[in-house]
Amino acid sequence: MKKNIQKKRYNPFPPSWVRWSVIAVWLSAALLLPMVSQAKDGGIENLRQTSKAFADVARQVSPAVVFIQIEKTVQQPEVQFFSPFGPGNPFGDELLRHFFGVPGPGKSPRAHPSPGQRVVGQGSGFIISRDGYILTNNHVVGDADKVTVKLLDGREFTAKTIGVDPHSDVAVIKIDAVDLPVLELGDSDAIEVGEWVVAIGNPFGLSHTLTVGVVSAKGRSSIGIADYENFIQTDAAINPGNSGGPLVDLDGKVVGMNTAIFSQSGGYMGIGFAIPINMAKSIKDQLIQTGSVVRGYLGIVIQDLTPELAKSFGMKDQKGIVVAQVSEDSPAEKAGMKQGDVIVEFDGKPVDQVGPFRNEVALKTPGSTEDITVLRNGERKVLSVTIGQLTDKEGDVAEGPHNLEKLGMTVQNLTPELAHQLGLEGKKGVVVTGVAQGSVAALANIKPGGMILEVNRQPIENTEELKKAMAEAPEDSPVLLLILEGEYARYVALQTE
């Protein structure tokens, strides 16, 4: 019997699921390729729009930015600059050389001005009124014999100095002109870290140079550039000659005035500082009205609250600033403020750093009344203080020496001879006569000549009282000393074990 064998027929077409898969791939490619192309075009278009935004800012702002040239006759046989940073000045001596021709390492001594020689410096500024008022830095025009202002359109004017404020490094000058282009002053408090900013000025004499960056940080203080600091930090390139020029946002509004750079070479290293325009506004208004600046005054010495000090004061939170000294008959004393108070609020705002607090007090109108909340022995107290007026003879809210957390020292009672020698007549305490190298006291920057006034908030008058107070101090807690150094006192927390 024959087997019934069925032959399978060859099908030249693949299964339907394969066909549909291929079709799906083709359709996906057909759809995605245009989308990729569109995404690429969209990204380029976004970059074009960003570029145009910077170009628009340049066109809008540049006419009101001015080039400032100053001339000054050197009276002293030698010009010297002393940096608050010592030999390692991070802002660079090149900035000083650029303005005043002071030679640096390896420079020809011929660059050093001789008595009676006229030196030329340069900087930037920006017009703030149609009748010619210009805002710039004090270090650009201060003490200049002649100030020349050049506009973008080529016009040149001799400027008059209206007023300067060395404490904030703000100055106002004026040219005799009308219908000038003006820059709108913005709100520096509103700008945020990470926002685009544009710096325009005359670095190295290169007129109307634009650089772009972001706001790197806000509220930079205790840098040592000026007495009152609250700088905006930016990575927009700032170089010598940019000083006094505007830092603007993408709307072309001024948010800061370029003032200094952090540099080890004298040139741009990615860190520049600008005075917030909100601070400059108050100062420029006073300079225009009176030619000088009046500042608020409390009459206290303050210092930041370190973790060691917070522990010594029995505080759980490290928030506030310590009152290390209260001047006699000062507004603060009249309001009931005491040494050892911790200020936590001023004018309804929290206080946690020395620099911003000093700025807030300085900007208050003398005669105005403000509330200050302090912690005293763990209790909150609200003091009503009438702001005084700062004069050159008075210490304002002064920042005491820096706190260091780390006793190897010799002491002795205050004799009449020592009191006269050290200018401590009428004082009570124990004099530091020696400090061992590498000791706890040395690490806390305690120096011979300082006088210990208190141990753990208890006044001491002689070495026996000091030894007793030290023996009674808890072993597991730092010892809190109040030390008078020169005119100012400061608290130091020392861990003896």
Q: How far apart are CA 468 and CA 480, in angstroms?
A: 14
Question: Do both 320 and 417 map to the same domain?
Answer: no
Query: Cα separation of 472 and 449, whole Å?
Result: 25
Q: Of 391, 380, 388, 394, which is closest to residue 334 (Cα–Cα)?
A: 388
Q: Are residues 66 and 170 in the same domain?
A: yes
Classify residue 158: in a domain, yes or no: yes
Report if residue 187 sits inside a domain.
yes
Q: Are residues 85 and 196 in the same domain?
A: yes
Domain CATH for 371:
2.30.42.10
User: Distance of CA 134 to CAs 47, 106, 147, Å?
Assistant: 34, 37, 12
Q: 367-419: per-residue pLDDT in tens?
A: 999 999 999 888 899 999 999 988 755 555 554 433 323 477 777 777 666 67
Contact present, 302 and 322 (Cβ < 8 Å): yes
> What is the extent of the structural domain holding 238?
40-104+112-293
- Domain assignment present for 315: yes
Report the pLDDT value the prediction gives residue 408, as an integer from 0 to 100.
75
Residue with tokens 């020592």: 418
> Does residue 135 share a domain with residue 205?
yes
Instruction: Say whether both 318 and 444 belong to one domain.
Output: no
The values of phi and psi at residue 414, to 5°, are -80, 110
- Are 395 and 432 found together in one domain? no
Same domain, 350 and 442: no
Report residues of the chain scoring pLDDT below 50.
Answer: 1-2, 77-111, 399-406
Residues 200 and 116 reside in one and the same domain: yes
Residue pair 188/249 in contact by the 8 Å Cβ criterion: no
The reported pLDDT for the residue numbered 199 is 93
At 29 the pLDDT is: 63
Q: What share of the chain is helix, strand, coil (3-state, %, to 5)?
A: 25, 30, 45
Is 318 among the domain residues? Answer: yes
Residue 207 located in a structural domain: yes
| The last residue of a domain, from among 253, 272, 293 | 293
Q: 485: buried, middle or exposed (CB in 10 Å: 19+, 13-18, 0-12)? A: middle
Which of residues 356, 374, 399 is at a domain's end?
Answer: 399
Residue spans of beta strands (DSSP E) within 202-319: 209-220, 231-234, 246-248, 254-261, 272-276, 296-297, 300-304
Residues 380 and 413 in one domain: no
Tally DSSP H helices, then E strands, for the chain. 10, 27
Same domain, 145 and 197: yes
Task: Based on the fold, state whether residues 50 and 133 are members of the same structural domain.
Answer: yes
Residues assigned a catalytic role = 139, 169, 243
- Taking the complete model, does pTM exceed 0.75, yes or no? no
Distance of CA 344 to the CA centre of its chain: 21
What's 182's domain CATH number?
2.40.10.120
35 lies in a domain? Answer: no
Which phi and psi (to 5°) does residue 246 adopt?
-85, 150
Assess if residue 9 is contained within a domain.
no
Identify the pLDDT of residue 414. 75
**Residue 198 carries which DSSP code?**
E
From 344, 368, 399, the end of a domain falls on 399
Is there a domain that residue 353 lies in? yes
User: What number of other Cβ atoms are within 10 A of residue 387's Cβ?
Assistant: 19
Q: How many domains does the chain have?
A: 3
